[in-house]
Structure 1
Amino acid sequence: MTVWALGLNHTTAPLDLRGRFAFALDQIAPTLQSLRSSFASGRHPQVEAAIISTCNRTEIYCASEHAALDHTFGWLAQSGGVAPALLRSHAYTLHDGEAARHAFRVASGLDSMVLGEAQILGQMKDAVRAAETAGALGSTLNQLFQRSFAVAKEVRTATEIGAHSISMAAAAVRLAGQLFEDLRKTRVLFVGAGEMIDLAATHFAAKEPKAIAIANRTLERGEKLASRFGGEAMRLADLPSRLAEFDIIVSCTASTLPIIGLGAVERALKARKHRPMFMVDLAVPRDIEPEVKALEDIYLYTVDDLAQVVQQGQANRQAAVAQAEVIIDAGVQSFMHWLGQRGTVPLIQQLNAQADEWRAAEMARARKLLAKGESVEAVLEAMSRGLTQKMMHGAMAELHAGDAASREQTAQTISRLFLRKERSGTGH
């Protein structure tokens, strides 16, 4: 069995390219079915698969008897509507131990834009559940991810990897505080109602802004989140007409197209008499048209723009990273040992089946002898001799077959398998 992974993330691919490969959680199951169907039509019918898709990365993990990396590349390039050569120039590929190491590092927050952040672990668990629900997760990938979660837990327990992390939300608050002298005088609009917006709203609410509003496609979900922060909820359709009311806009939806356009922002600025607006686009693909950044009095930050802020103080975390890597190394070794053993499973199953067949045959013969009135002692003697002969027959036949060199090699193997007690030099 072999494991392979391919992906692109915030260090290898620009935001707009990552946006082409972003899958919302409810898209994972049908996307996995499409991927696995593409394998089934070729030479790789039985492929396990999982997809992790966040604002910072899209990664595909697969497991099968034989790796099919080129096929996986072609499928992903086609799904994103880009040339395979372009995807290859921004993607990374990993096999077996390196794929496991990468998964462990991702789960532990070592490969995140925010070093040590915990959100990725929840996102990975969601992705694994989605793959499981889609019937795409077999024993090998399940083992890989369960071990990655265990390693991540150990890293967070045994090190201070997350102690100095600055979340995206905290970074956004810090930048907003540099633009506005007093955040208590600002009006903040959050677009979307998912986990990232929940986190951002929690951070901004702590600064007690003048007003908080949640704009969401589903009003009920927006109202539920807004009620927690004493804010109001609005429909996404009302966004363009009300944009001018807000000083700070934080957006993170699963929309495949921008929902805040250049024209709407220009009209809002005019209505505000060009009072500055602070905008944060945490979505991949983008929620806010990139041209908005060029407007005067607009301060627009994307997830990639926030990278410099969240990486500050990284030197303080190097000792924790070194500790974490040791834990990950041990996890990789353990997984590779398990993966190596998986190759012998069919042989073990065949040996057990053969032994059961011999045992059943000798038991049947023993019952017949007992029914004929043979003594128990004689029947046990015959049964033990019969089992012994069956077990030794193959080894004896091999010892008498082949040339001298092959017989010598066979003799060593049989000695190792059958004469271990004698070879150890003890009777224990």
Structure 2
Amino acid sequence: MVLFSLVATHTDLDLETVGTLSSGAADVAASVDLPAVTLATCNRLEIYAESASEKPEDLESSREKLLDAVAESSGLDRDTVARSFRVLIEDDAVSHLFEVGAGLDSAVMGEREIAGQVRRSLNEAKSAGTASGNLTKLFETATRTAKDVGTKTALGARGRSIVSVALDIAGDMRGDGPQFYREAKVLLIGTGAYAGTSLAQLVERGVPEISVFSGSGRAEEFVAERGGHAKPLRMDELAAAFREADLVIGCSGGNRRITAKEIQSLAGLSEREAPLLVIDLALSHDFEPAVAELDGVELITLESVKVAAPGETQDSVEEARAVVAESVQQYLTERRERTADDAIVALRRHTQQLLDSEMEKVRKAHGCTAAAEEVEFAVRRIVRKLLHTPTVRARELAAEGRTEDYIKALDVLFGLDVGSREESQRPGPARRRRAEEFSAAEIAQMATYLQQVPEGGFCRHHRPGEFNIERLAFTQQIRRSA
């Protein structure tokens, strides 16, 4: 398997193009027959995948499949899609993801939100059954690295984010930012990740009145999940909230944009004393560009945030890069060692099969005698000694990045094929079995086992309350009848 990534970001493209590429991104990984994880944020679309082999034609075929899927989901011309992505392979793909997760490739240097987005992208891929074991290890390690940057460096300690910079800009536009937020009325449109971060930031800044509206009807659930620090709105309450708001934040990313005419009507611009501040954090934009041309409206977009984002001192950036570089090197070393482990297992399996075959001949000729056992003991000891040096060399070559040389040597000398590990395979989505799918023997075995489990416990090794997971409903009936 060969790791590669397709990368389209704010550093190469305008955010409009990135937004269009990202539309339907959630379905891309599931539409191809490759292990893949999609990372879509406000300023990037990246797809991490594994090709079937290191052959150039296989890698190109895998790339073409993903580009076709993006073109289909976004509706963009196939050539435009192909030009929009950079391709990173193996070590370059690993380094890039770790830098992204640490906020070193963000519009706001050192932003903390991206680490959560990396983690969520993996969780979504695992739920959809598109993440292999290798991709899972990659994304989990990238998330841990981001955490290390956050706790060990000055870059992480600042806690800047797209949302915090946008709110700082809005506060500066109204003069005294802190005082503005302590007296402001804010309308939040959307219930996604950026909406959650925005609500938390608004509460932290002491905003006394926050309203939340969701076109999907999730506002009430969203507010309840976050401590009730806002008022969920119904559709018939939206116009009044617009009219009273000092600041409107859009982060729904829906298909429909609010027009300049609608803002003029909803917000009652002709009757307002102070300008209405509008922050558009949606990659696909919640507001039409013409909103910025209205008298009495100040529009802050992701492009505005990118331009106004504060720089970082070179020292803090270098600190973060050092943490990332060390983590990348450790990950790559462990990854090579895992490949070496496969080769070692293949060699040991080969020798074990030869030993077993020869010992079977000895037993047929001489029976299971003490002499046969002595022969087997001696042969196994010789095999262990013979395998010691090849095992040590496998790990040494892995550390040097030369595992492929070792695998080729096994092929030349022994005709061994070190196949793909199970962790490189893409599993299908998990499915829980229904009660009627269990055989009578399985149910009897369950009944015997459940008798050993304490009341309220999950298994015989954990006391009640130590481990909580949903059981199949019919197991309760088994316990009662046992």
8 Å CA contact retained: 2:32, 2:65? no
Name the structure 1 match of 2:172. Answer: 178
Partner of 2:7: 7
1:363 CA drift (Å): 3.8
- Root-mean-square deviation (CA), in Å? 3.2
Question: How far apart are 1:221 and its partner, in Å?
Answer: 1.8
One-letter amino acid of the counterpart of residue 59, structure 1: E
- For residues 340 and 386 of structure 1, the distance between their equivalents in structure 2, rounded to whole angstroms, comes to 28
Per-residue deviation, 1:292: 0.9
Contact 2:71 2:78 in 1 (8 A): yes
Q: Are residues 74 and 382 of structure 1, via their aligned partners in 2, closer, same or farther at CA, if it must alter by over 3 Å?
A: closer
Amino-acid identity (%) = 24
The answer to whether the Cα contact below 8 Å between 1:164 and 1:313 also exists between their aligned partners in 2 is no
In structure 2, the residue matched to 1:294 is 293
Paired residue type of 2:238: L
- Which structure 2 residues correspond to residues 35-50 of structure 1 after superposition, within 5 A? 35-36=32-33, 47-50=34-37
Is 2:29–2:36's contact at 8 Å kept on the other side of the alignment? Answer: yes
Q: Secondary structure at the match of 1:280?
A: strand
Task: Return the offset for 1:52.
Answer: 0.7
Contact 2:366/2:372 (8 A) holds in 1: no
List runs of 5+ in structure 2 lacking aligned partners. Answer: 387-408, 414-482
Q: Is the 8 A contact 1:107 1:148 kept in 2?
A: yes
Residue identity opposite 2:322 in structure 1: V
- Residue 263 of structure 2 corresponds to residue 285 of structure 1: no
Letter in 1 for 2:297: I
Q: Please tell me whether the aligned partners of residues 101 and 332 of structure 1 are also in contact (alpha carbons under 8 angstroms).
A: yes
2:324 corresponds to 1:325: no
Describe how 1:343-382 pairs up with structure 2 within 5 A: 347-368=343-364, 371=367, 376-377=370-371, 380-381=374-375
Mapping for residues 113-132 of structure 1, pairs under 5 Å: 113-132=107-126
What is the TM-score of this pair, normalised by structure 2? 0.69
Query: Partners in 1 of 2:69 and 2:339 — Cα distance?
Result: 28
CA 1:333–1:272: 2 relative to 1, 3 Å: same
Q: Counterpart amino acid of 1:292? A: V
CA distance in structure 2 between the aligned counterparts of 1:202 and 1:306, rounded to whole angstroms: 19
* Counterpart-to-counterpart distance in 1, 2:221 and 2:150: 32
Residue by residue over 1:165-209, the C-alpha shift from the partner in whole angstroms, topping out at 9 and shown as x without a partner, is: 432333233223233355244321111233322322333334444
Match of 1:62 in 2: 49
**Match for residue 80 of structure 1?**
74
Count of aligned pairs: 374
Distance verdict in 2 for CA 1:166–1:326, change over 3 Å: closer
Q: C-alpha separation between the residues in 1 aligned to 2:161 and 2:380?
A: 70
Distance 1:298 1:304 in 2: 17
Question: What residue in structure 2 maps to residue 396 of structure 1?
Answer: none
Deviation at 1:252, TM superposition (A): 0.9
Q: Return 5+ residue gaps in structure 1 as ranges.
A: 37-46, 393-412, 418-428
Q: Structure 1 CA distance, aligned partners of 2:204 and 2:147?
A: 28
1:158 maps onto 2:158 in alignment: no
Q: How far does residue 382 in structure 1 lie from its aligned partner after superposition?
A: 7.7
**In 2, distance between residues paired with 1:6 and 1:198?**
28
The structure having more radius of gyration, on CA atoms, is 1
Distance in structure 2 (CA, Å) of the matches to 1:226 and 1:106: 27
1:378–1:14 distance in 2 versus 1, CA, 3 Å: closer
Q: CA deviation at 1:61?
A: 0.3
**Post-superposition shift, 1:300?**
0.7
Equivalence for 2:231: 232
Distance 1:126 1:17 in 2: 23
Distance 1:226 1:196 in 2: 13
